[in-house]
Amino acid sequence: MRDHDNRTYLKVFFGGVVLWGVFLAVYQFWLNRCLWLDEAHLAINIVGRGFLELLAPLDNHQAAPIGFLFAEKMMALVFGNSDWALRVIPLFSFLLSIPLFYFLSRKLACDGLVAQMATALFSISWILLRYSSEAKQYSLDVFVSLLLLCVPFFLSMERRSALASAAVIGCAAIWFSNVAVVTLFVAGVYWLYIETYSRRNSKIPLVIAAWVISFAVYYVFFIHDHPTREYMLRFWQKSFLPANPFSREFYVFGYEKLQEVYGYMFGLESICLVPLAISLFGVYCLVAWKKFTALYFCLAPVGVQLALSLLRLYPFYNRMILFLMPEFIFLFSMGVYFLAGFLRKSPAVVSCAVMALPVIIMFIPLSNEIPVYSDHVRDSLKYVEQHIQEDETIYYYYVTSGIADFYLRAGFVNLTNTAVSGQRHRNENHKYNPELASLTGKVWLVFSHVYISESGVNEESYMIGFLKENGALVLDSQSCPGSSVYLVDTNKPKAVPRAAPNP
């Protein structure tokens, strides 16, 4: 079989994988899974506020770019306060990222086949597919980052229109993505070297100045002295790079983050060292073959992100660094491509199999993780709405409370009964006792995303068990994937007075 035929078959295979990834993204969106807690907390702000109110700090310790919030609000106004409406932008961000990633990969690799392989891996990455239908900004971060990295290759800086376009795109990106500043820094340094130093184009600093002004305005009004800063620093404390390179924590951090990227984010926890080794081999070959542009665009964003993590400005954590997945995938793809190159003296089918095998392996985490089924709180709330009586109250488990709040505000369910929101007492189950003991009459308890304590106790089982031990009767129950409902009568049966003994 000729080498030309092998490349043709591989291209057809990779193209089919890309189409399958597109189908899965649309299918995942169409399934319309219930919002999970983080989505619901952000969605409450979007549906409950006007455009001007979205400029103020968000409730529930949420933070998102102003442009993203405005776009989400527009979708909610056009299509209604539904899960679908809030996930339109993440879906299209993912779909539009695919051609951008192919274009960038082709420019950096200078080879259509490796670009197609990388794009196939990108299209079926389980974590990218997951966030393609989640009402958060992370999928948009990926799109904006890829767009900004493509701009130096899209535009010819010799024309004024290109300069104006670059300035507008960069300025707008800052308002739509919190990580745009990382990619703008990388693209800006590249432009300064290529255009100013190599081509003597003195107008590039004007473009970068426009970016700096846009970021300065955004920083002053929406980042500086943000009220959630201290909370975020505590919440993400384990995701900031330790300052001392000689400390044990520094190397533990590095090891855990490599596991996170090549294990969790690649979906290959059991063999995470294999994709890591292949990626490092890709880096070595890029250096040996003097492909410094590709090396720069892959490693510089990671370096800048680590610097921000060191300065405690932005955490290095899976969904927060989702925008770096294209770089990790490209380095891995280059490593595989170079490995296949070493086997060209072998039968043609061998090198062909080397490039196809990683894509096939990526279907393993894909089959385990996609489609994502989160807690079906909507179904539980609907069940309560259909069966609740006027004199009955509702108790929401602390995780469920925020999700229920969104669906109540969005009008998905109509529950006007008295409701109690539970408090969080992880690993201290006894602290649930007073609030459970205070429940009176018939109560609907709604659970989702139930926590299992360090001692192995399921909080839902503990709470229902406590009520039973104190005389409550379970009159009804309903289970949905990830969510459950109980109707409990907390009134203890009255003791029947014993007849007086005959004299």
Cα–Cα dist 285/287, whole Å = 5
SS (H, E, C) 418-471: CEEECCCCCCCHHHHHHHHHCCCCEEEEEEECCCECCCCCEHHHHHHHHHHHCC
- The letter for the amino acid at 71 is A
Q: Which of 145-149, 181-185, 478-482 has the lowest mean pLDDT?
A: 478-482
Mode of pairing for the β-strands spanning 419-421 and 393-396: parallel
The enclosing H or E element of 489 equals strand 483-489
Instruction: Tell which residue, 330, 315, 407, has the closest CA to residue 39.
Output: 407
Cβ-in-10-Å burial (0-12, 13-18, 19+) of 180 comes to buried
Task: Give the confidence band of 498 by pLDDT, cuts at 50, 70, 90.
Answer: very low
Contacts 24+ apart (CB under 8 A), 212-219: 213/171, 214/170, 214/171, 214/174, 214/175, 215/174, 215/181, 215/184, 218/66, 218/174, 218/175
The SS3 assignment for 487 reads strand
Q: Which residue type occupies 166?
A: A
Average pLDDT over residues 494-502: 45
Q: Can you tell me which residue has the tokens 């990382």? A: 182
pLDDT at 7 over 90: no
pLDDT in tens, 236-258: 999 999 999 999 999 999 999 99
Sheet of strand 393-396, all strands in order from the earlier edge strand to the far edge: 419-421, 393-396, 442-448, 483-489, 473-480
Nearest to 491 by CA among 422, 443, 431: 443
Mapping DSSP onto H, E and C, the string for 167-233 reads: HHHHHHHHHHCCCHHHHHHHHHHHHHHHHHHHCCCCCHHHHHHHHHHHHHHHHHHHCCCCCCHHHHH
Residue 26 CB contacts under 8 Å (≥ 6 apart), including other chains: 91
pLDDT at 42 over 50: yes
pLDDT at 494 over 60: no
Percent of the chain beyond pLDDT 90? 72
Give me the pLDDT at residue 499, please: 46
DSSP 367-413: HHHSS-----HHHHHHHHHHH--TT-EEEE-HHHHHHHHHHHHTTSS
pLDDT in tens, 169-182: 999 999 999 999 99
Q: Is the pLDDT of residue 37 over 80?
A: yes
CA distance 31 to 371: 8
Query: What is the pLDDT at residue 239?
Result: 95
**In the chain, count of helices (H) and strands (E)?**
21, 5
Find the mean pLDDT for residues 292-303: 96
Does residue 493 surpass a pLDDT of 60? no
The confidence band for 495, taking pLDDT boundaries of 50, 70 and 90, is very low
Give pTM, 2 decimals: 0.92
Give the chain's mean pLDDT: 90
Contacts of 61 (CB under 8 A, 6+ apart): 41, 228, 231, 232, 235
Averaged pLDDT for residues 261-284: 93
- Copy the structure tokens of residue 313: 């400005």
Secondary structure of residue 322 in the 3-state scheme: helix
**What pLDDT score does 9 carry?**
84
Q: What is the pLDDT of residues 414-458, one digit of tens each?
A: 999 999 999 999 889 999 999 999 999 999 999 998 988 878 889
Question: Is the pLDDT at 345 greater than 70, yes or no?
Answer: no
Give the pLDDT score at 4: 61
Residue 395 pairs in a beta bridge with 420, 445
Please report the pLDDT score of residue 354 as a whole number: 86
Whether 61 has a pLDDT exceeding 60, the answer reads yes
Sequence-distant (≥ 6) Cβ neighbours of residue 36 within 8 angstroms: 374, 375, 403, 449
The C-alpha atoms of residue 309 and residue 290 are separated, in whole angstroms, by 29
- pLDDT bin (cut points 50, 70, 90) of residue 497 is very low
Cβ atoms 110, 8 nearer than 8 A: no
Asked if 419 and 393 touch (Cβ cutoff 8 Å), the reply is yes
1 has pLDDT over 60: no
Residue 437 contacts residue 430 (beta carbons within 8 Å): no
- Minimum mean pLDDT range among 375-379, 404-408, 439-443, 475-479: 375-379
CA distances from 274 to 257, 264, 268 (A): 15, 13, 9
Q: Are 156 and 118 in contact (CB under 8 A)?
A: no
CA distance 130 to 445: 29
Task: Report yes or no: 488 and 392 within 8 Å, Cβ to Cβ.
Answer: no
For residues 392 and 416, the answer to whether their CB atoms sit within 8 Å is no
Position 500 confidence tier, pLDDT thresholds 50, 70, 90: very low
Judge whether residue 462 has pLDDT over 90.
yes
The yes-or-no verdict on residue 2 having pLDDT over 60 is no
Per-residue pLDDT for 191 more than 50?
A: yes
The pLDDT, as a whole number, for residue 212 is 97
pLDDT-based confidence at residue 101 (cuts at 50, 70, 90): very high
pLDDT tens-digit profile of 310-330? 999 999 999 999 999 999 999
CB 141 within 8 A of CB 177: yes
**Mind listing the pLDDT tens digit for each residue in 136-170?**
999 999 999 999 999 988 887 777 888 899 999 99
Which of the pair, 113 or 93, is modelled with greater confidence? 93
* Residue 501 pLDDT > 60: no
